[in-house]
A and B are shown apart, each in its own frame.
Chain A
């Protein structure tokens, strides 16, 4: 069902902004938003429509932490491990979250509720360590706050 949805979205975006290479990122964002990830068929569709080689599209997807080709859980946790967060113990945060969820970075929980990712800088360096869960930002994490956040989402 989401297939039709991403196609409609892409068609909307290209109608508004034209079928140029510059439209690639907005298209990818739209697909990510409605499907939760970028399916391979969507890449082929973009290649055809925007005339951009698939490897270049893949290059853009892997450049941006917000885009992914993997099907994701309901909550996508993106924990930053760039230098400022790292220095503020993001490694420890990772351990805590991995333990709480029972999955490793890069994995999705079997019930498809959580995906855990370690990503480069989220631009929240002054409030390190930081993470995002879907669109929401969580800053100055501690072991306790991280545990609490996860527990709340688990419900």
Chain B
């Protein structure tokens, strides 16, 4: 332990603590831009400079470790002057079109400029005029707004181990780009959107579908249906004035009706459907002795990662489509039939916590209904913007349910949004399939929580089913390398690309705070506990869709509409 003084106050912290973190203990918040909790500090921006007595230069407090007896000052005239100067210099080369910028309400640079009292930018310089990277169907990069903090590079390399973006060129020409400047759409990018979550400014954003959805809603010839992923209800409130941790399922359904959607359903329904198919697939693989472990397939970020980096594991990956795509193919078949609507009239919209779902929806094979199964994907942030644009007082809305046919859901469906949720939901149903009995201890605690890799053994009659859960692609790699080496002890593995699972998806309200993601996950576990049905196979709307339409899990119709194939995409 070291004792030091910061602004005259003593604080004792473990060796190796940064000055910035020591200051936090004294409730001093040192401004930072390139530093972000959860990423290794790399001190690019220097805005966190502090004075250390006896040292001629300001020290970057995000990375500088404390030492015994150190005397630090975080609020001297010199420190304040330096910070202001740095913000001004950043603004000189920044294409600061704040009023129309995506991140207007959440921009860290704008906030700092305001908080640090920057009144005027005293310098003039050239504004960059780079081309935008619009090669990806999910994510747009605008290098003109980039302040070169390197957070996106670190999250892509260190957390996701995808490593498709990096600094290129030198001097004034430095920018963040891809190999040969091919663009995100032409490299191994998984579209996970974690780079969006860490970017302090508006340099990375989703490719928006808001205009297209407004147009569909305004078109009287179209019948617009909407589904919302589990994780939306755990985070949408954050964008609309409610505290983190608020469940907004009811308000969300109401808001969607008020926006003019003709049928408001729920992805949680098709999450239940995914479980029916996936649990049956697992039991089949185990009893028939075919390829194990089975790996979940509901995360399109993970799927694209696998198609680039682990195509040899394609036989291990469940053939089940994601809940979004299962819903999509049923919307234009099952629902179209039931409602007597010609499928070409239907516009199928989804609201996802996820940027990768935008990519998934436009995969060429996702047309099993005979039409584009999902037409437009909105992120949580995009839906929040539409709600604001429509002038809906979200916090004051009454609660409504989604329409029953494809909107009733179980607790198993809702926990899909948290890491471990798909595993838990699948085990609840697989247990029933194998034993004919219901799993008594329905809460499978070992697969919950925020550990990067979680494992458990569940006794299903005489069989010990071994399972593993990984979230964040860096964690996934560890488990996948075992599978590749033939050393994996597991029967079933769940993988989610985003740390925390979909509650931490690239389309969620901006944050890279794992604890907040945990709070969002807890919202879903709480909802699970109070729902009338907690197992997918108990959901009456699921029973009905099999009775009336699909017949049986893994049956012919299911096979055609609910299952898919993968592509070896190779490396770039």
Contact = CB atoms under 8 A, between A and B. Distances in A.
Question: Do A and B interact with each other, yes or no?
Answer: yes
Interface of A: 40, 43-44, 47, 53-59, 62-63, 69, 120
B163 A63 contact: no
Contacts of B178: 55
Given A43-B179, A53-B157, A53-B163, A58 B171 contact: no
A53 B571 contact: no
Contacts of A44: 571
A54 B169 CA distance: 14
Contacts of B170: 62-63, 120
Contact of A69 (B157, B177, B180, B187): B180
Interface string B172-186: 000001111000000
B164 A62 contact: no
Given A55-B166, A55-B168, A62-B169, 13 more contacts: A54-B572, A55-B163, A55-B187, A57-B179, A58-B166, A58-B168, A58-B180, A59-B166, A59-B167, A59-B168, A62-B170, A63-B170, A120-B170
Interface of B: 157, 163-171, 177-180, 187, 571-572
A68 to B, nearest CB: 12
16 contacts: A44-B571, A47-B571, A53-B157, A53-B163, A54-B179, A55-B164, A55-B177, A55-B178, A55-B179, A56-B166, A59-B168, A62-B168, A62-B169, A63-B169, A120-B170, A120-B171
Among B157, B165, B187, B572, the most chain A Cβ lie within 10 Å of the Cβ of: B572
Contact of A53 (B166, B167, B168, B171): B166
Contacts of B187: 54-55
B163 A56 contact: yes
Nearest to B153: A55
Contacts of A58: 166, 168, 179-180
Contacts, number: 39
Contacts of B157: 53
Contacts of A69: 180
Contacts of A47: 571
Contacts of B169: 62-63
A62 B571 CA distance: 21
Nearest to A48: B571
Contacts of B165: 55
Contacts of B167: 59
Contacts of B571: 44, 47
Contacts of B164: 53, 55
Contacts of A53: 157, 163-164, 166
A125 B288 CA distance: 74
A59 B173 CA distance: 12
B192 to A, nearest CB: 16
Nearest to A53: B163
9 nearest CB pairs, A to B: A53-B163, A55-B166, A54-B179, A62-B168, A55-B179, A62-B169, A59-B166, A58-B179, A63-B170
A51 to B, nearest CB: 10
A69 B171 CA distance: 19
Among A44, A55, A63, the most chain B Cβ lie within 10 Å of the Cβ of: A55
A55 B189 CA distance: 12
A96 B248 CA distance: 68
Among A43, A53, A63, A120, the most chain B Cβ lie within 10 Å of the Cβ of: A53
A59 B181 CA distance: 10
A57 B177 CA distance: 12
A63 B179 CA distance: 13
Contacts of A43: 179
A58 B179 CA distance: 6
Contacts of A63: 168-170
A32 to B, nearest CB: 16
B352 to A, nearest CB: 27
A54 to B, nearest CB: 4
A47 B177 CA distance: 17
Nearest to B157: A53
Contacts of A54: 179, 187, 572
A36 B177 CA distance: 24
A38 to B, nearest CB: 10
Nearest to A69: B180
A126 B184 CA distance: 42
Nearest to B169: A62
A5 to B, nearest CB: 22
Nearest to B165: A55
A114 to B, nearest CB: 23
A69 B571 CA distance: 18
Nearest to B161: A53
Nearest to A52: B163
Contacts of A55: 163-166, 168, 177-179, 187
A10 B178 CA distance: 24
Nearest to A119: B170
B429 to A, nearest CB: 40
B308 to A, nearest CB: 12
Contacts of A56: 163, 166
